[in-house]
């Protein structure tokens, strides 16, 4: 049975999810819930659920940042995103963080259970893949640990760390403790690890094939691109397969770092100007980093160093200042002011406004009358 964690700042919304889910039928159970993004991340780190169902807009953390944090810290967890915002930007953010499904509120039981079923099928498939490679559950767990360390090393973009992670896996595969299924074990290990790399690179908007071809890898026989996909050629043993894939990881990271360097010539004044011109739109750290073709991490650090403020906080502040002016000075209706400030969900706008200024939009209106 797989565990599910639900995150939504509205208690009634969490109750709706719990009421609509066909948990027993799907072989799932609700293991926990949270109403705050930061607290939710902490609990997820403690409980390690298999599936997370989360609202796109959560207090304490921007939606796109929440999905990215889940993706980075818990890459094996399946995500289902719910939102009252039927727009492309947030949908794209969910997809790029590998959310399994995007559900528009109010959610239907059919859509929710279909998404849950797809998550379960994917979890079953991954478990089956690992079981087909290894002879015992203990071996599966050891491989999962190595896989997680390899992924963490990939996120660091540190070639020495990557090499160390793959060498550790190769030693494990070569040891007597690990019994790799003989039939196709090498190719399945290689395919699994290459798939993980390809998923990571897809979020950087670059393909593994292109990075490797740019570095002349196809010419030296490490990969076969004749079919249009990267396929490791046959190797004598699983440990040799692991080391060969480790070389591909290192070459891909080398290419990605080179690409990022060419993209990183960035004037932060241009970023600030872009946000000032577009804060009323559905922008976030995710979308701004995509606009300037740099990583979210680099943009976040550079923006904080330049302004002394987190990018997400800066966007919220600009929106709140705009909303206050529209309500108090221009005397626009509150709903209209919210929309012009970048908020379609009025209830969410009220919560952010109250948190930012300590009073509601209506109270501000009364003060100025």
| pLDDT tens-place string over residues 267-289 | 788 899 999 999 998 888 888 88
Which band of pLDDT confidence, cut at 50, 70 and 90, is reported for residue 183?
Answer: very low
Nearest to 255 by CA among 293, 201, 301, 306: 201
Residue 52 phi, psi dihedral angles, 5° rounding: -120, 125
Calculate the alpha carbon distances from 111 to 47, 114, 290 in Å. Answer: 26, 5, 30
Break the chain into its structural domains and give their ranges.
2-127, 135-262, 268-368
pLDDT above 80 for 130:
no
Which band of pLDDT confidence, cut at 50, 70 and 90, is reported for residue 15?
Answer: very high
Crossing angle of helices 109-133 and 11-20, rounded to 10°: 70
The pLDDT of residue 264: 54
Could you tell me which residues come within 8 angstroms of residue 186 by beta carbon, excluding any fewer than 6 positions away?
A: 180, 234, 235, 236, 237, 238, 240, 241
Calculate the alpha carbon distances from 295 to 27, 196, 226 in Å. Answer: 38, 19, 31
Residue 93 or residue 329, greater confidence: 329
Which band of pLDDT confidence, cut at 50, 70 and 90, is reported for residue 244?
Answer: confident
The pLDDT of residue 217: 57
Average pLDDT over residues 105-131: 87
CATH of domain 2-127: 3.40.50.2300
Nearest to 279 by CA among 317, 251, 243, 252: 317
Instruction: Judge if the upstream peptide bond of residue 252 is cis by omega within 30 degrees of 0.
Output: no
pLDDT above 50 for 31:
yes
Residue 68 or residue 117, greater confidence: 117
pLDDT above 90 for 5:
yes
The architecture that CATH gives domain 268-368 is Orthogonal Bundle (1.10)
Which band of pLDDT confidence, cut at 50, 70 and 90, is reported for residue 90?
Answer: low
Q: What is the pLDDT of residues 291-337, one digit of tens each?
A: 776 777 778 888 888 888 999 999 999 999 999 999 999 899 999 99
> 308-338 burial, b if ≥16 CB within 10 A, otherwise e?
eebbbebbbebbbebbbebbbeeebebeebb
Which band of pLDDT confidence, cut at 50, 70 and 90, is reported for residue 224?
Answer: low
User: How many other CB atoms are there within 10 angstroms of residue 213's CB atom?
Assistant: 16
3 state SS for the chain: CEEEEEECCCHHHHHHHHHHCCHHHHCEEEEEEECCHHHHHHHHHHHCCCEEEEECCECCECHHHHHHHHHHHCCCCEEEEEECCCCHHHHHHHHHCCEEEEEECCCCHHHHHHHHHHHHHHHHHHHHHHHHHECCHHHHHHHHHHHHHHHHHHHHCCHHHHHHHHHHHHHHHHCCCCCECCCCHHHHHHHHHHHHHHHHHHHCCCCHHHHHHHCCCHHHCCEECCCCCCEECCCCCHHHHHHHHHHHHHHHHHHHHHHHHHHCCCCHHHHHHHHHHHCCCCCCHHHHHHHCCCCHHHHHHHHHHHHCCCHHHHHHHHHHHHHHHHHHCCCCCHHHHHHHCCCCCHHHHHHHHHHHHCCCHHHHHHHHC
Which band of pLDDT confidence, cut at 50, 70 and 90, is reported for residue 188?
Answer: confident
pLDDT above 60 for 219:
no
Highest mean pLDDT pick, 101-105, 118-122, 266-270: 118-122
Same fold, 2-127 and 268-368: no
The pLDDT of residue 99: 55
Q: How far apart are CA 7 and CA 52, in angstroms?
A: 8
pTM to 2 decimal places: 0.52
Which band of pLDDT confidence, cut at 50, 70 and 90, is reported for residue 91?
Answer: low
User: How many other CB atoms are there within 10 angstroms of residue 120's CB atom?
Assistant: 19
Nearest to 9 by CA among 134, 147, 105, 142: 105
The pLDDT of residue 350: 95
**CA 171 to chain CA mean position, Å:** 31
The pLDDT of residue 226: 45
Structure tokens of 143?
A: 């491989």
Confirm if 369 and 359 have CB atoms less than 8 A apart: no
The pLDDT of residue 88: 45
What is the C-alpha R_g of the chain?
23
| Mean of pLDDT over the chain | 81
């Amino acid at each position: 049975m797989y565990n599910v964690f639900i995150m939504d700042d509205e208690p009634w919304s969490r109750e709706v999810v719990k009421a609509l889910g066909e948990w027993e039928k799907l072989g799932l159970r609700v293991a926990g819930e949270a109403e705050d993004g930061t607290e939710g991340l902490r609990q997820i780190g403690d409980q390690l659920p298999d599936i997370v169902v989360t609202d796109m807009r959560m207090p304490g953390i921007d939606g796109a940042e929440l999905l990215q944090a889940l993706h980075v810290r818990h890459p094996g967890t399946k995500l289902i995103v719910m939102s009252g915002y039927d727009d492309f930007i947030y949908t794209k953010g969910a997809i790029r963080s590998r959310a399994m499904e995007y559900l528009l509120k109010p959610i239907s039981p059919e859509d929710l259970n279909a998404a849950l079923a797809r998550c379960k099928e994917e979890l079953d498939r991954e478990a089956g893949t690992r079981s087909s490679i290894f002879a015992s559950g203990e071996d599966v767990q050891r491989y999962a640990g190595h896989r997680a360390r390899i992924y963490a090393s990939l996120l660091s973009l540190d070639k020495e760390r990557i090499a160390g992670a793959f060498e550790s896996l190769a030693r494990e595969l070569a040891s007597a403790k690990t019994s790799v299924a003989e039939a196709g074990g090498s190719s399945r290990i290689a395919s699994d690890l290459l798939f993980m790399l390809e998923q990571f690179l897809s979020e950087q908007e670059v393909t593994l094939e292109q990075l490797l071809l740019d570095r002349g890898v196809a010419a030296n026989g490490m990969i076969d691109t004749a079919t249009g996909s990267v396929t490791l050629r046959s190797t004598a043993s699983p440990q040799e397969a692991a080391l060969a894939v480790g070389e591909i990881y290192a070459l891909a990271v080398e290419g990605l770092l080179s690409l990022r360097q060419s993209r990183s010539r960035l004037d932060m004044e241009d970023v600030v100007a872009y946000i000032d011109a577009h804060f009323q739109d559905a922008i976030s750290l995710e979308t701004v980093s995509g606009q300037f073709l740099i990583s979210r991490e680099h943009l976040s650090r550079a923006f904080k160093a330049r302004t002394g403020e987190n990018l997400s906080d800066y966007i919220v502040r600009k929106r709140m200042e705009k909303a206050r002016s529209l309500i108090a000075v221009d005397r626009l209706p509150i709903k209209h002011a919210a929309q012009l400030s970048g908020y379609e969900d009025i209830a969410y706008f009220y919560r952010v406004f109250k948190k930012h200024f300590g009073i509601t939009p209506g109270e501000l209106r009364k003060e100025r009358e």
